[in-house]
């Protein structure tokens, strides 16, 4: 690709190049100069940016000695609903994760079953949109493993997480697309910092979607549904904060 090509021409040719470019030019998309031009803002096409980002790149992982001595909690710190309080009192013995929607084999998994699935351990940095970060260790099965077990149908485009808590009176939920759902660092964590996940951080199960900001990491996950569209869920923008204050649905970092 010529060096004197203008930004506009580049973006236009990328746009008309369409599928061919997207399919064949990973090398180009990851070239730092190309990315600088494409991501520099002016008339930037968000869809194009997303399409050309390397969605499979890994988030940085850290050493144990880099873990934050304190990892704050944010948003809901205890769902405190009658249902949740009862489940907590029984140490989640009757809790089940429901996996449904566009799957061929809906699942209802106990915590013991989830803990028996081969798990990943990752030390990553959590970045909250409010401006704080913390490095913690997370442990749990890859979401992809569970979705494969459920048999994701080919018309599924998004995975929706329904949580046990009401935040400021409304049910917390979040969604990601199937690309992030099958990212190797997207896990359902049941342990944090070598201990069973506590209530503040989302017991018994919370999502880690390491390429995105904190509000996407749904805590207190009760249900996972594969859907073709986000319309009709909440206010239709794909998550609690997206609906509430127009946060971006794709909160890539
Ligand atoms: N169910 C639920 N999930 C949630 C929230 C919430 O209020 N309820 N807050 C989100 C926000 S804004 C952040 S930064 C992280 C905080 O996770 P932590 O409490 O483990 O630090 O959880 C996210 N997931
Ligand atoms: Mo956050």
CATH 3.90.420.10 for the 7-245 domain, yes or no: yes
Which protein residue has the closest C-alpha to ligand 1 atom 8? Answer: 76
Give per-residue pLDDT as tens, 186-206: 999 999 999 999 999 999 999
- CA 150-180-109 angle, to 5 degrees, is 30
Determine the average pLDDT of the residues in 239-244: 97
pTM of the model: 0.83
Task: Pick the more confident residue, 48 or 229.
Answer: 229
CA of 163, closest atom in ligand 1: 1
> Ligand 2 centroid to 23 CA: how many Å?
34
Determine the average pLDDT of the residues in 29-34: 52
Q: Is 216 left (phi over 0), alpha (psi -120 to 50) or beta?
A: alpha
Q: Which ligand is nearest to the CA of 200?
A: 1
> Ligand 2 centroid to 180 CA: how many Å?
18
Residues 6 or more apart whose Cβ sits within 8 Å of residue 244: 170
Q: Which ligand is nearest to the CA of 78?
A: 1
> Does the structure show a pLDDT above 80 at 44?
no
Domain ranges of the chain: 7-245
């Amino acid at each position: 690709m010529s060096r004197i090509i203008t930004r506009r021409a580049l973006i236009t040719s990328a746009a008309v190049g369409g599928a061919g470019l997207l399919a064949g030019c990973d090398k180009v998309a990851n070239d730092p100069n190309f990315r600088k031009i494409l991501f520099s803002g002016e008339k930037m096409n968000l869809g194009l940016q997303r399409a050309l980002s390397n969605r499979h790149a890994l988030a940085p992982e850290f050493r144990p000695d880099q873990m934050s001595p304190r990892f704050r909690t944010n948003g809901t710190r205890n769902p405190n609903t009658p249902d949740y309080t009862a489940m907590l009192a029984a140490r989640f013995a009757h809790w089940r994760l429901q996996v449904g929607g566009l799957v061929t084999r809906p699942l209802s998994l106990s915590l013991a079953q989830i803990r028996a699935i081969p798990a990943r351990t990752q030390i990553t940095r959590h970045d909250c949109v409010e401006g704080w970060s913390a490095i913690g260790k997370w442990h749990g099965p890859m979401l992809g493993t569970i979705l494969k077990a459920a048999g994701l149908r080919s018309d599924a485009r998004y995975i929706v997480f329904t949580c046990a808590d009401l935040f400021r009176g409304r049910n917390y939920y979040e969604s990601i697309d199937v690309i992030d759902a099958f990212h190797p660092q997207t896990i359902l964590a049941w342990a944090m910092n070598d201990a069973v996940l506590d209530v503040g951080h989302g017991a018994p199960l919370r999502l880690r979607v390491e390429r995105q900001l904190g509000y996407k990491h749904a805590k207190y996950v009760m249900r996972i549904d594969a859907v073709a569209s986000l319309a009709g869920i909440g206010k239709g923008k794909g998550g609690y904060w997206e609906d509430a204050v127009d946060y971006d649905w794709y909160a890539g970092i």
